[in-house]
Amino acid sequence: MIKYSVDVLITFLIFGVFAFLHSLLASNRIKKSFANKFGDLIAFYRFAYVLFAIISFWMIYNFAPHEDLIIYDLPFPFDFLILVPQFLGLAGFLWTLKYFSSKEFLGINQIVRWRSKEYNTADLDEELYFRIEGPYKFCRHPLYFFSIIFLLFRPEMDLFYLNFLICIIAYFYIGSIYEEKKLTEKFGDEYVKYQKNTPRIFPFFFKSLKTRFVK
């Protein structure tokens, strides 16, 4: 058990370092500093940031201690039934992408605007728009919600995957706080009103369920 405890701690520490660097590089303070120093080359910041995130996450996932302790292994037919909510999570994720600019998120649009000399350095590394459509009517971060659903429901769970899942959920929640600070700064009272009327990650169904049990 001591070995498992040490491995869990190492995983949390490694992921914590990743989350800290990821959040630091995503901060407006760092972006503004980069823009002041390099001007419209900030257009490449988002693409480089995403590339760094993918490579560093891959390294963490592969080099963190992989504990071989099985938490559960569902028998037939439950191993197939649990794939239903996982499929729904994937479907919801794809649904959300319809209301989400993937090219802007990946930094491709920024490079296109830079090449056509239409880049606005005041946008820093991305253009932000505030629209309440589709899944954004039910929660403020539907990509996080559907990712959690997809990752949570699986026919087999080991200690390593459980640790990583906890880290990812914690990072989604903490990361959403920093994201919303930037959104509140940009959109002001309009976004504050949206925050008051719409749950952060888990939709109204979960909020209503919680209220029902409290009563």
Averaged pLDDT, groups of 10, the chain, 215 residues long: 83 90 90 93 95 91 85 91 94 92 90 93 87 91 95 92 91 90 90 93 64 40
- pLDDT number for residue 212: 39
Q: Is 89 left (phi over 0), alpha (psi -120 to 50) or beta?
A: alpha
CA distance 90 to 81: 15
Distance separating alpha carbons of residues 68 and 65, to the nearest angstrom? 9
Taking a C-beta distance cutoff of 8 angstroms, is the pair 81, 58 a contact? Answer: no
User: What is the dihedral sign for C-alpha 101, 141, 9, 155?
Assistant: negative
Instruction: Check residue 35 and give its pLDDT.
Output: 93
Bond prior to 77 in cis (omega within 30° of 0)? yes
Nearest to 123 by CA among 182, 54, 178: 182
In a 3-state reduction of DSSP, which class is residue 24? Answer: helix
pLDDT at 205: 60
